[in-house]
Amino acid sequence: MHARKIGAAAATALAVLAARDLIQKKHALLRNFPVIGHARYLLESIGPELRQYVVTSNEEERPFSRDQRSWIYASAKEENNYFGFGTEVDVEHVQGHAYVKQRTFAGALPDAHDPQAPLPSAKVLGGPRGRAKAFRPASVVNVSAMSFGSLSGAAITALNKGAALAGTMHNTGEGGLSPYHRNGGDLVLQIGTAYFGCRNEDGSFNLDKLKDVVAGAPVKAIEIKLSQGAKPGLGGMLPGAKVTPEIARIRGIPVGKDCASPSRHTAFSDVDSMLDFVELLATETGLPVGVKSAVGEMGFWQELATLMARGDRGVDFVTVDGGEGGTGAAPLIFTDSVSLPFRMGFSRVYGTFAELGLTDELTFIGSGKLGLPENAAVAFALGADMINVAREAMLSIGCIQSQKCHTDTCPTGIATQNPWLARGLDPSSKATRAAVYLRTLRKELTKVSAAVGVAHPALITADDIEIMNGDYEARTLAGVYGYKDGWGQLGPHLADEITALLTTNPTTAPRPAL
């Protein structure tokens, strides 16, 4: 009898659903195929999961393949991150694949197996321009810009604690410096076009508020964001419904009101006035100041390098973001087709400064899917001095690549402000995983450097890596990207200094916290 009642209730529900489908006019599919048409929408909704776990091979899925995610997960958990039985990459036919050329002999090298081994930057950030608070970054791998608001407070807390444990820096993102950024990690304060945290009521920049923010937190450098790989040249809109009292307080905006971020800065209008702004911030705070940008037209970079060649003004670092960057939600056209990919964009920017002999005068930072050893090695060979990792850091604290960052329904509590979802992320345990991942990536870079016969990844050159071009031809990075002799390499004094720092007396190098 009970089973009959259940069956009758189910049949009634299906009949009601069928009647509704036949009457409604929104979906033609459901009018033509009532009830069973819903299967299409169900399959569409779980499509990413089906592709991720069932359909695609270990090397096919994007933006991160199953093998890449597995390496990050295993590294973060201190599990075996080796792979057995050879490569799944079709090594002779995959166009664009990078191959590192090992050397048979080498001089003194640091211990490539010590997970706590220091791997500082080869350059002193702010040193060439004599900034009062110039310093040598303790890690060449750092956490990239991701704002509180885009990520949950629990996620920001985990990343900041992880950065502190690994001895890396943590970029605040343009959303302002939140309480969640104050968990021990050194900070790079990012200033975006809306000047969150250091703005007047009309949205213009406020220097005094910036100085207050810097004075009250472990800020090591300031980064002016011109654009980012996910949405270059595009402003943002934070709907009033998402402007909670907490976010309003951190960003310096009214509670419950829409907040539009302009696509361009209002504190300066060209390269000349931008350099005046950079020097103002550096003078008033003593901190190194740089810019972050995706790469589009090259006139901006050419003018920047030309003005810096005079020697009186300049940025201390340049963060080049690849168009494949993706932590920020954006329209599909911007995600897929606006701004150059990292390798092409970075090589053009680097070459612009190299033509004028300026590459030792500033630090080059790369971002855009560089949290994997192969991509990172290529970035260093092209001339990067440090790299920033974003999505890979998210993966290390539990991201499953569900690609729901823009919906506020992130199932792992990372890219959401939903309290119920965010509570599932334990900041303490995830901080440890983030730290282990960051240290592991540094160790892998040390191993790759040792294979090439050099003490530091910044000493890998554009001739040490080849790129497959067609089925049976390969060209060096230098050849692919038009590098001249010496491009992508440190000056002799910088090369000797970092080699001595890591091999002659490695105890003098800054060591990450345990």
pLDDT per residue, tens digit, the chain (514 aa), is 577 777 778 888 888 888 888 887 666 556 767 887 777 667 666 666 666 555 555 556 667 777 888 888 888 888 887 776 667 776 776 778 889 999 999 888 988 777 788 899 999 999 999 999 999 999 999 999 988 888 899 999 999 999 999 999 999 999 899 999 999 999 999 999 999 999 998 889 999 999 999 999 999 999 999 987 666 666 666 666 667 888 888 888 888 777 777 889 999 999 999 999 999 999 999 999 999 999 999 999 999 999 999 999 999 999 999 877 666 566 777 777 677 999 999 999 999 999 999 999 999 999 988 999 999 999 999 999 999 999 999 999 988 787 777 777 788 888 888 888 888 888 999 999 999 999 999 999 999 999 999 999 999 999 999 998 767 788 999 999 999 999 999 999 999 999 999 987 544 445 444 3
Asked, as a colleague might, if the bond just before 419 is cis with ω within 30 of 0, I would say no
CA pair distance 197, 195, nearest whole angstrom? 6
CA pair distance 366, 144, nearest whole angstrom? 10
Q: Model pTM?
A: 0.86
Reported as type and span, the H/E element at residue 223 is strand 219-225
Q: Which amino acid is at 2?
A: H
Residue 483 in tokens: 């590098």
Residue 448: predicted pLDDT: 96
Residue 17 in tokens: 């659903």
Q: Which residues contact 212 (CB under 8 A, 6 or more apart)?
A: none
> How big is the CA angle at 290 (ends 288 and 293), to the nearest 5 degrees?
165
Q: Which amino acid is at 286?
A: G
